[in-house]
Chains A and B, each alone.
Chain A
Amino acid sequence: GEDVEQSLFLSVREGDSSVINCTYTDSSSTYLYWYKQEPGAGLQLLTYIFSNMDMKQDQRLTVLLNKKDKHLSLRIADTQTGDSAIYFCAESNGKGDDKIIFGKGTRLHILP
């Protein structure tokens, strides 16, 4: 079955870059997503990438996709205290009634 794996914790110093990694197993994954969950709030879509792309950049966020290795990463440049949250990787195959499969989430902790 489909599976999405990511490490549970990451600590980064304020001002450094954060790189959150994710691997997935479904070779038919068409869309790959990053969601952010701040304390006490619901998950919120940050960005997504279509499987025929290998990179997407949006301000401080860069998404890299290695489709051959089924590896997705989210890079946050110049990490700020407001970036402290749980980041969820997710995938879907984009078909009619497909479901979005989530990873367990990576908790990003910002060190002063």
Chain B
Amino acid sequence: DAMVIQNPRYQVTQFGKPVTLSCSQTLNHNVMYWYQQKSSQAPKLLFHYYDKDFNNEADTPDNFQSRRPNTSFCFLDIRSPGLGDAAMYLCATSRERGGARELFFGEGSRLTVL
């Protein structure tokens, strides 16, 4: 059974129209991550939550926000999507930060911006 579930798998939005992607986990992991992956590019970390503590990467645009209302759920909000935000968005979890750790990934949400 899937342990990290992302919805929707495919999202089409118009330029400037806000979009929310969701991620849920059944692993009870402390850490949840959002990565952006463009075609033939490396997954790029946008931010992560360690429990309720939000950690933004320095180069993540202000257009991207995140919420983690409880342990199981984490949301990625894109306030005003531009054409350059079209990508696959990957959610991942890990039990803890630091050390050797396994990231558990969802199947991703592919965002298209028209």
Contacts and interface: CB of A to CB of B under 8 A. Distances in A.
A102 B43 CA distance: 6
Given A94-B98, A96-B97, A97-B50, A45 B40 contact: no
A29 to B, nearest CB: 12
Interface string B43-54: 101001010000
For B4, B43, B55, B57, which residue has the most chain A Cβ atoms within 10 angstroms?
B43
Contacts of B106: 42
Interface residues of A, number: 26
A44 interface: yes
Given A96-B97, A97-B55, A43 B105 contact: yes
B90 A48 contact: no
Contacts, number: 56
A16 to B, nearest CB: 25
A42 B98 contact: no
Contacts of B92: 42-43
B98 A97 contact: yes
A45 B92 CA distance: 12
A99 interface: yes
Interface of A: 4, 8, 31, 35, 40-45, 48, 50, 88, 92, 94-105
